[in-house]
Structure 1
Amino acid sequence: MRKIGITGQNGFVGNCLFNKLSLLKEEFVLVPFDKSFFESEELLRTWAIQCDVIVHLAAMNRHPDPNIIHDTNVKLVELLLKALNDTDKRPHIIFSSSTQEERDNLYGKSKREGRELFANWAKNQKSTFTGLLIPNVFGPFGKPFYNSVVATFCHQLCNNQAPKIEQDGFLKLIYVDELAEIIISIIRNNTDNPSLAIPPTQEIYVSSILEKLISYKERYFEQGIFPQLEDRFSINLFNTFRSYIDHSSYFPYMLKQHADNRGVFVEMVKLEQGGQVSFSTTYPEVTRGNHFHTRKIERFLVIKGKALIQLRRYNTEEVLNFELSGDKPSYVDMPVWYTHNIKNIGVEELYTVFWINEFFDTKDPDTYFEIV
């Protein structure tokens, strides 16, 4: 099995790639990286010598002084190359550059220079190198005001702030999971290309993105309605938006009960799209679930009995706990990359209704077992 190291593994793209590779345990071994390695030649050498493939993602994107961005990014490349030369290690290097190489700014210049340094090293060492020219990346858990305008808009909308468009540019975008899949394919195929342009999967104006996100806030965040998601980009954008909701304070979402002499009527799931609705009964002390999804949208509604719903973001430690009761019908939605379960903590049978936005496909289940 090939050993993979990722500089910047805790960053936006790095975390997604690390998590996806961690699901492929029969194919790859991950060599954990810490940013402190760049501060120690010995630690960097020790890490590098273990790697068959190094994905170099570590970089500075923003700083008040553009010269610091340039010098930092070039220095990180030089440090990594020195470690490789000191160890005589010749791994496959994959470098994340940017389409901003074409622009007249110091960030783009630093990326171009870094890619050229790696390309020349690989040529001289007869090693494999893949230089990626990547468009704008968006997706869950990106850092607002840093990684992308999508992250900034989502953060602002979920915190009742008013986003502003500085310039309504036409963006070429790729979803972070899609980029991670491309990198995994490059690793598998041992792709040797010093200037590989990664095509965007969506081209859209900034104003159109904000319009979609505002509609998600109005329909989903404020009214609890799943919006119409007409294509894969819309699903990816919606899942990105949901990742910025503070689940610990937003859920469980209490449903309105309409009571009369006949009993109680409750509207459970309001949809502008399809999917599948299921229900389950669960005996006391029994737990269901303990899995996560990377793309599916799912809602758990408790309508009878008492339940504990738990969520934990994959490869993190914090567990969110929600107690729900059929006496006050309510629901919790499952974010992507959050493993989740539901346990009957009452003395009677638990009745739960589940909605998910796509049918279960045994050939592509998007369901990964992981204890909360």
Structure 2
Amino acid sequence: MSAENELAVVPPKETALTVFSTEKGLDPWLQQVRAKVDEFKKVLPDLKTDKGRKAYASMAHQIAKSKNALEAVGKEISAKQKEIPKLIDAERKRVWDTLELWQKEVRQPLDDWQAAEDARVAKHKAAVYQIEEMAKFSEAPSSSEVARLIAELEAIALDDTWEEFLAEAAQVKDHTLAKLRATHSERTQYEADQAELALRRAEAEAQAQRDRDAEIARVAAEQARIEAEQRAQAELDAAARREQELLEQAAAAQLATEQAARDAEAAAEHQRLQLELQAEQARTVAAQAEARRVAAEQRAEQERVAATQRQEQAVEQARQAELARQAAAVAFELEQAQAREADKAHQGKINRAALEAFIAGGMPEACAKQAVTLIAQRKIPSVSIAY
């Protein structure tokens, strides 16, 4: 076994039993290994180089080979010398533990370097993964949230701190930015479409309310007309009833007169003078009744004429009310049209001012017109014209 491959030679077979069965009998061999270890540690290889890292691994490997070689000799002696197994096993364990400790001692810098290297690589990979995850959403985001993510991602600096992961980080950043910008464009368009739909719904609701108000006004006017007609008809019916009552009273008075005349004719001759007197009185009463009947007819006619006049007045009032309602509706629509025209003129004035400002700023007139049109139609995100 050469010095290049082993740090220590094993005891000769003829003395191996004595060496292993003696307490600390292997110390001379261990000292040889320790001397090599100390010599190795005087000038430690550079862990930053591949050659240096291989030197650490080689030294640890040589210690392991010495450990295994001495262990193999010890196991062979233990198997042959059953009478001293405890001494040999104790020495084996001591040597194993000692060499194990030295192995760890020599390898510790390499292990520490490897742990630091793994942590550095993991940190870079986690940062790249975090950039990639910025374009993933569990639910549809708002355009403002996407804009914030774009700003955060653009603010991430790509410099030498990324070391060998710089190219990968740059590629992932560009890809993620492209996805975020596409998402931002989609969400901006979607939100604009939703806003336009909301505006249309509001306009439709306003028109429906105006239609409902017009219908309510029409129904109210119709109800007023019906009530006026009903009141007029009621007055006509009352006048007719009063006229019928007067006619019935006159007929009853005439019947009473006729009955009185028949009674007078049937009386005795000796009551003729009295009957003539009574007849004269009856004629007087009849004349009075006739006068009352004529007066009643005249009053009934007057009531009928008055009722007719009141009906005509009610109808005229209903017609005037309908004309007033129609005039109010026309005036309201005219007012709304004038307001729309004024608003349109106001917007046109502001749009012309914006157009002139674009042209004054050096923009061609066609481009300036298109820009004003797109802004007025709310097709440019985050840009609007204040009217």
Q: Tell me which interval the TM-score lies in, with the shorter structure as reference length.
A: under 0.3
> Highest CA radius of gyration, 1 or 2?
2
TM-score (norm 2): 0.16
TM-score (norm 1): 0.16
Which has more helix, going by share of residues?
A: 2
